[in-house]
């Protein structure tokens, strides 16, 4: 994409130069080589290269990098405003990490407690797993459209992007592509991330049909394991709700997502509101249509999860049948790059289609070789999942900071 200009980054992460010892740990974990400074001198982050992933923050042994976008007090103020409905959308990786902030074992799954604490704080819930299902369906169908066109020779009803298709739900990866591989942007799936789908859905259908409020009376909060989501929410192109309401005679600015809290931020919010998380009554919110989801939605929190979920969908749509064993295990696990292939019979034409997919987590070491292959026109894959953080969002830059992390 000649002449492409990456969007100016909202400054999410900064290094506190008074605390920084210049030990260089952060440089080892920065995927974008955005940290400047000689060994032994205080470092700085160049925001024209930073992807806002927060990996420097969770790995610095001295706590020098800071998350500069703090929405905790603003969200509390909105929760205390009677005329407002505050909706929280909770990513899958938050529910296995927030317990750690309250003395529970790392990895404890506390979904019902988290729902209970959110209810106590005054949130309505739209589980991000619900919109992860929508992302998967849309991404899977987009891929199938390309496969039918390029592999089965079907005419395309509308313009289709090139193969391989890349996943688009990790905002640090999107920022990296914009900065370092702009010519690969047409390969990105056009589908929004689950958080951004949740925002648009809450401010339109949710406001009208579920909570029956005006869009200006709804405040949408993304609750994410990720600092880069703060940048994603600030992108001015996410205006679906405003477009919808403007078409329906309500002129105004309705950002799809108003604020993002990381897992750490949410723990601080609960503490400020004196919510005793460990003893909060569990809540399942069973009558809420926005907390229903499939196992595919849950997989989003791990590396390989998006790919596995999309492959299951592709298999169902192409063959017309369910997988006998509903798992593509080759894309699970923590290997830096994983690949899988699956041959399936197209129910329409009777022809066999073989899908080749790859999954990479960690931009510098693992994704880069796959990107270079695509750039050179030598990629054997149809679909590539890329997540910035090692292991996927469970190890995101907004998760609890464990001092031991800096030692590996
Ligand atoms: Fe955020 Fe997940 Fe991407 Fe990490 S892998 S930057 S947590 S979306």
Report the C-alpha gap between 161 and 137 in whole angstroms: 17
Whether 51 lines ligand 1, by a CB cut-off of 6 Å, is no
What's the structural domain count of the chain?
Answer: 2
Domain end residue (candidates: 294, 310, 342): 294
Whether 53 lines ligand 1, by a CB cut-off of 6 Å, is yes
Of residues 136 and 13, the one with the higher pLDDT is: 13
The answer to whether 117 and 133 are in contact (CB under 8 A) is no
Matching residue, tokens 């080892």: 28
The closest-lying atom of ligand 1 relative to the alpha carbon of residue 399 is 7
Asked if residue 301 and residue 290 are part of one domain, the reply reads: no
Nearest residue by C-alpha to atom 1 in ligand 1: 226
Report the C-alpha gap between 291 and 66 in whole angstroms: 33
Asked if residue 205 and residue 89 are part of one domain, the reply reads: yes
Over residues 367-390, mean pLDDT: 94
Asked if residue 362 and residue 237 are part of one domain, the reply reads: no
Q: Please list the alpha-helical segments (H only) found in 212-319.
A: 228-233, 240-247, 263-272, 295-298, 305-319
Q: What is the CA radius of gyration of the chain?
A: 21
CA 220 to chain centroid, in Å, comes to 16
Whether 201 lines ligand 1, by a CB cut-off of 6 Å, is no
Report the C-alpha gap between 73 and 231 in whole angstroms: 19
Any catalytic annotation for residue 169? yes
Of 9, 94, 226, 257, the one to substitute when testing ligand 1's pocket (max ligand atoms within 8 A of C-beta) is 226
User: For the domain that residue 251 is a member of, what is the CATH number?
Assistant: 3.40.50.1780
Residue 122 lies in a domain: yes
Report the C-alpha gap between 228 and 263 in whole angstroms: 13
Determine the pLDDT at residue 37: 97
Over residues 300-316, mean pLDDT: 71
User: What's the pTM value of the predicted model, to 2 decimals?
Assistant: 0.92
Over residues 177-202, mean pLDDT: 96
Asked if residue 290 and residue 201 are part of one domain, the reply reads: yes
Asked if residue 201 and residue 245 are part of one domain, the reply reads: yes
Residue 115 lies in a domain: yes
What angle in degrees, to the nearest 10, is found between the helix axes of 240-247 and 194-201? 20
Residue 45 lies in a domain: no
The closest-lying atom of ligand 1 relative to the alpha carbon of residue 397 is 7
Of residues 1 and 358, the one with the higher pLDDT is: 358
Report the C-alpha gap between 12 and 228 in whole angstroms: 8
Positive or negative torsion for Cα 33, 36, 38, 41? negative
Whole-number percent of the chain with pLDDT over 70: 90
What angle in degrees, to the nearest 10, is found between the helix axes of 128-150 and 305-319? 50
CA 81 to chain centroid, in Å, comes to 29
**Run of H or E including 384:** strand 383-387
The CA 337 to ligand 1 mean position distance, Å, reads 16
Matching residue, tokens 């991404």: 139
What tokens does 200 get? Answer: 């648009």
Whether 170 lines ligand 1, by a CB cut-off of 6 Å, is yes
Half-sphere exposure of 49 (CA within 13 A, CB side): 11
Considering 192, 229, 230, 338, which one is annotated as catalytic?
229
Asked if residue 382 and residue 313 are part of one domain, the reply reads: yes
Residue 255 lies in a domain: yes
The answer to whether 258 and 44 are in contact (CB under 8 A) is no
What tokens does 374 get? Answer: 């695509």
Of residues 320 and 185, the one with the higher pLDDT is: 185
Report the C-alpha gap between 139 and 347 in whole angstroms: 20
Asked if residue 238 and residue 121 are part of one domain, the reply reads: yes
In angstroms, the Cα distances linking 277 to 76, 101, 121, 260 are 17, 9, 11, 20
Asked if residue 237 and residue 100 are part of one domain, the reply reads: yes
Q: What is the pLDDT of residues 55-86, one digit of tens each?
A: 999 999 999 999 999 999 999 999 999 999 99
Any catalytic annotation for residue 183? no
Report the C-alpha gap between 318 and 364 in whole angstroms: 34
Asked if residue 318 and residue 387 are part of one domain, the reply reads: yes
Any catalytic annotation for residue 232? yes
Polymer length of the chain: 408
Residue 32 lies in a domain: no
Domain that holds residue 124: 72-130+193-294
Residue 406 lies in a domain: no
Asked if residue 209 and residue 172 are part of one domain, the reply reads: no
Residue 339 lies in a domain: yes
The answer to whether 146 and 165 are in contact (CB under 8 A) is yes
Q: What is the pLDDT of residues 312-367, one digit of tens each?
A: 777 888 888 876 654 566 666 667 788 888 888 888 888 888 888 898 988 888 99
Asked if residue 184 and residue 198 are part of one domain, the reply reads: no
Determine the pLDDT at residue 5: 61
The closest-lying atom of ligand 1 relative to the alpha carbon of residue 172 is 6
Asked if residue 167 and residue 275 are part of one domain, the reply reads: no
In angstroms, the Cα distances linking 62 to 53, 65, 136, 254, 274 are 18, 9, 39, 39, 28
Domain end residue (candidates: 294, 311, 330): 294
The CA 249 to ligand 1 mean position distance, Å, reads 37
In this predicted structure, the answer to whether residue 408 has a pLDDT above a threshold of 60 is no
Any catalytic annotation for residue 216? no
Domain end residue (candidates: 238, 261, 294): 294
What angle in degrees, to the nearest 10, is found between the helix axes of 111-121 and 263-272? 50
């Amino acid at each position: 994409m000649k002449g492409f200009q990456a969007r100016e980054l909202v400054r999410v992460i900064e290094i506190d130069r008074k605390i920084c010892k210049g030990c260089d740990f952060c440089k080892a974990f920065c995927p974008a080589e955005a940290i400047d400074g000689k060994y032994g001198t205080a470092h700085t982050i160049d925001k024209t290269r930073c992807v806002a992933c927060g990996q420097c923050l969770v790995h610095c042994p001295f706590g020098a990098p800071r998350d500069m976008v703090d929405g905790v007090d603003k969200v509390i103020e909105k929760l205390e405003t009677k005329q407002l409905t505050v909706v929280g959308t909770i990513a899958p990786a938050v529910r296995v990490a927030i317990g750690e902030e309250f003395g529970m074992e790392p990895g404890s799954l506390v979904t019902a407690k988290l729902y209970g604490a959110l209810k106590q704080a005054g949130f309505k819930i739209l589980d991000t797993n619900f919109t992860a299902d929508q992302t998967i369906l849309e991404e899977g169908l987009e891929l199938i459209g390309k496969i039918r066109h390029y592999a089965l020779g079907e005419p395309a009803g509308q313009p289709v992007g090139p193969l391989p298709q890349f996943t688009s739900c990790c905002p640090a990866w999107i920022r990296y592509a914009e900065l370092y591989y702009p010519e690969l942007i047409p390969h990105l799936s056009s589908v929004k991330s689950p958080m951004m789908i949740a925002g648009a859905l809450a401010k339109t259908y949710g406001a009208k049909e579920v909570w029956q409020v005006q869009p200006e009376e709804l405040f949408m909060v993304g609750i994410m394991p990720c600092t880069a989501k703060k940048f994603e929410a600030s992108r001015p192109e996410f205006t679906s709700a405003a477009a919808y309401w403007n078409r329906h005679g309500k002129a105004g600015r309705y950002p799809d997502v108003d604020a993002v809290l990381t897992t750490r931020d949410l723990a601080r919010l609960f503490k400020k509101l004196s919510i005793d998380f460990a003893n909060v009554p569990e809540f399942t919110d069973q009558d809420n249509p926005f907390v229903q989801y499939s196992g595919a939605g849950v997989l989003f929190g791990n590396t390989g999860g998006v790919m596995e979920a999309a492959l299951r969908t592709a298999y169902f749509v192409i063959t017309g049948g369910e997988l006998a064993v509903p798992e593509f295990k080759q894309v699970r696990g923590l290997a830096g790059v994983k690949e899988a292939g699956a041959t399936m019979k197209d129910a329409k034409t009777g022809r066999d289609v073989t899908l080749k997919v790859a999954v990479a987590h960690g931009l510098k070491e693992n994704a880069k070789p796959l990107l270079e292959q695509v750039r050179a026109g030598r990629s054997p894959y149809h679909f590539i999942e890329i997540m910035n953080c090692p292991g996927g969002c469970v190890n995101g830059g907004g998760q609890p900071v464990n001092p031991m992390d800096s030692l590996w």
